[in-house]
Amino acid sequence: MSIERAILKKIKYTFYNLGRILSIQSKLKVFFIFCSVIVLITGMALMFYSGFRYFDTMSGFGSIIINKLFTFFFLGMGVMLVFSSIITSYSTIFRSDEIPFLLVRPAGYNQITLYKFFESTALSSWAFVFIILPYVGAYAAYNEMSVLFVIWTLLFSIPFLIICSAIGSISIIIFVRFIPKSKKTLLSLLIFTGLMLVVVFFINTDFNVDKEMEVFDISTVLPGLNLASNPILPSFWTSEGIMALTNGQILRGLMFWLLLMLTATGFLVLINDLGRLLFYNTWLSTMEGRQNNKRAPVLFKWLDKIYLPHDIKAMIKKDIRIFFRDPVQWSQVLIFFGLIGLYFVNIRNFNYHNIDAMWRNMIAFLNVFCLSMVLSSLGSRFIYPELSLEGQGFWVIGLSPTSMKRIVLTKFFSSVVAMIIISVTLVLISSSMLNVEKEIQIITIILILSVSIAICGLSTGLGAIFIDLKQSNPAAIVSGFGGTLNLILSLCFMIVSIVPTGLILHLEIVAKISHQTAENLLITTGLWLIIILLCSSILPLILGIKVLNKTQGI
């Protein structure tokens, strides 16, 4: 037990010291972060509450949705947690610098795996607290439930988190262990998967949409609602157990809680055994991949044909090479956009294209919102730390005959191009699958273009303002003040750009405002969008360039 005791003590000390570090930091900074968190949680709680009230105005249909929504919420959270865990598990279990330190000490492979699993669970799930808290709070307030409801939710959330995270971690341990070693096999596998997705796309695409097919059926509107009620799902046990305890059905609630605890324990035993049997060899194989210093060259002959100044071309080539040689980077981008793409491609499978125009428009805007959230998290994860990650090598660029302005602008424009290609393609898929009107298509494209530019501007500019060349861990750079500010501002931009437009179009469709009023309001919103876009892209870039020019030691 000495290893477990030592690690627990280390975690305790780390948290204590984190408090010490925070206490000596600028009080204003800490206060700002605290206030931002409170505003974010309160804002989300109010948004959820308004959503419940809105559903309530829809007579019977709305109340069915509200009743099922709690179960659906845990299913959605569970799916997101599994994917989040897959991403964090790989870097935490296999790429952490701490592993070699622990491996040369008398710690069992199973102990190391379990410890890293819990770390990965914490890393992949802490952000969900910011969704669970406001949602549960709003749900409890709307249904006038007792405080016990929140306590039961917390009690059930712990085993639920462990189960979801374990599914992600176990998948990644097995995948990394048995991933085809040959690049050709891996490539064939990826091409096969891609082809399958294309086939699924064409099978599910009904190019001759029958407008008469608007049949009201709750399962066609939100098919996930039925799936969420499947009794074999841990998300169902969680929601059912919480509701049972809240309604005073102690034994039923306890049964679901024990079921969750038993499943979680089972998964922990499985991770322990996988750690003992697979961890060491799998870790060694990932290390050997890193040690093998002979890499196939990435030459970009196509890039040489494009006219670009030599310094800009050199920087772009370097960034692309680094990106493709770091599986953590490209795999995260692939997973995030791949999942969204998969959902967009399958929209017709859910029959969303046959529902009322009001709902289709709402889904189109929700899709833009969802894609923007992914863009903002990727902006914070990849674009924001880009300048800091130049690290000790920054002098190479710093001493070359180029200016800080060109460096910052190159980072900005290259990220804008990459983001726009992906985001606009995805929005085009979404709107064509939903069969929305041309007007909505154009508006959603304008919105996603603005969000992409703003996120790249904010991330590059703030990344320059809060540059930290001493830090080599991107997670540490991102979790700093600048990274948090960047994420908050990106989310704010999304809200103030997408929500007003979506609201105007919604009010027009439900005939609350006239077409003329909607048009006038849209023009005003367009002007507003231009102003906020300039503020969030050009301003941070100018400030960032100024800071870099003044910074010593670069």
Partner 1 sequence: MIKINKLSKTYGSNDAKNPHSFEAVKNLTLDIGKGELFCFLGPNGAGKTTTIKILTGLLRASSGSILINGIDPETDHLSSKKIIGYIPDMPYLYERLTTTEFFEFTGELYDINKESIHEKLEESFALFGLIEYKNVLVKDLSHGLRQRLIYAATFLHDPEILFIDEPLIGLDPYTIRLIKDLLKEKARNGMTIFLTTHILALAEDIAHRIGIILRGELIETGTLSELYERHGKNNLEDIFLSLTGNY
Nearer to partner 1, 266 or 289 (CB): 289
Span from 31-39, 92-100, 298-306, 390-398 in contact with partner 1 (CB under 8 A):
92-100
- Which of 251, 296, 306, 511 contacts partner 1 by CB under 8 A? 296
Nearer to partner 1, 208 or 292 (CB): 292
CB closer to partner 1, 120 vs 332: 120
Under 8 Å between Cβ of 54 and 292: no
Site of tokens 């964090």: 88
Minimum CB separation from partner 1 for residue 324, in Å? 16
Residue type, 104: V
The residue type at 420: I
Interface of this chain with partner 1, residues 93 to 122, rule: CB under 8 A: 97-98, 100-108
520: tokens are 């006038």
Nearest Cα residue to 498 out of 348, 376, 338, 332: 376
**Which of 20/29 has CB closer to partner 1?**
20
Q: 309 or 391, CB closer to partner 1? A: 391
Q: CB 318 → partner 1: shortest distance, Å?
A: 21
Nearer to partner 1, 287 or 409 (CB): 287
Which residue in the set 23, 144, 288, 527 belongs to the binding site for partner 1 (CB under 8 A)? 288
Q: Indicate the residue among 291 and 516 with the shorter CB distance to partner 1.
A: 291
Cα 133 to chain centroid distance, Å, stands at 18
Cα three-residue angle 424-430-435, rounded to 5 degrees? 125
Q: How far is the CB of 111 from partner 1 (least distance, A)?
A: 10
Return the number of the residue (5 or 550) whose C-beta is nearest partner 1.
5
Judge whether 442 and 522 are in contact, CB under 8 Å: no
Rounded Cα–Cα distance for residues 507 and 366 (Å): 16
Is residue 292 involved in binding partner 1 (CB under 8 A)?
yes
Query: Smallest distance from the beta carbon of 280 to partner 1, in angstroms?
Result: 8
Residue with tokens 């005003």: 524
Among 33, 158, 218, 287, binds partner 1 (CB under 8 A): 287
Minimum CB distance to partner 1 smaller for 276 or for 546: 276
Both tokens assigned to 485: 């500010």
Q: By CB under 8 A, tell whether 63 contacts partner 1.
A: no
144: left (phi > 0), else alpha (psi -120 to 50), else beta? left
- Answer yes or no whether residue 2 interacts with partner 1 by CB under 8 A: yes
Q: Are 303 and 317 in contact (CB under 8 A)?
A: yes
Where does residue 187 rank: exposed (0-12), middle (13-18), buried (19+ CB within 10 A)?
A: exposed
- Residue 6 is a binding residue for partner 1 (CB under 8 A): yes
327 binds partner 1 (CB under 8 A): no
18 binds partner 1 (CB under 8 A): yes
Radius of gyration of the chain from its Cα atoms, rounded to whole angstroms: 25
**DSSP structure class, residue 353:** G
Structure tokens at 72: 């659906």
DSSP secondary structure code for residue 116 in this structure = H
Q: Which is nearer to partner 1, 38 or 284 (CB)?
A: 284
Question: Which of 9, 27, 53, 512 contacts partner 1 by CB under 8 A?
Answer: 9
DSSP 8-state assignment for residue 380: I
Select the residue interacting with partner 1 from 295, 305, 310, 515 (CB under 8 A).
Answer: 295
Q: Is 297 in the site for partner 1 (CB under 8 A)?
A: no
Q: Taking the complex as a whole, how short is the minimal distance between the CB of residue 126 and partner 1, in angstroms?
A: 16
**Residue found by looking up tokens 């462990």 in the block:** 162
Q: Which residues in 135-162 are b (16+ Cβ under 10 Å) and which e?
A: bbbbbbebeebeeebbebbebbbebbbb
Spatial distance between the Cα atoms of 536 and 490, rounded to a whole number of angstroms: 9
Among positions 192-221, residues that touch partner 1 (CB under 8 A) are: none
- In angstroms, what is the minimal distance from the CB of 471 to partner 1? 10
8 Å CB contact between 300 and 317: yes
Q: Which two tokens stand for residue 141?
A: 């307030």
Regarding 5 and contact with partner 1 (CB under 8 A), the answer is yes
Four-CA torsion 16, 117, 478, 282, nearest 10 degrees = 130
Residues 6+ apart with CB under 8 A from 339: 83
Q: How far is the CB of 15 from partner 1 (least distance, A)?
A: 9
Which residue's CB is nearer to partner 1, number 150 or number 389? 389
Of 6-14, 119-127, 130-138, 203-211, which part binds partner 1 (CB under 8 A)? Answer: 6-14
Binding site for partner 1 (CB under 8 A): 2-3, 5-6, 9-10, 13-14, 17-18, 20-21, 97-98, 100-108, 181, 280-281, 284, 287-288, 291-296
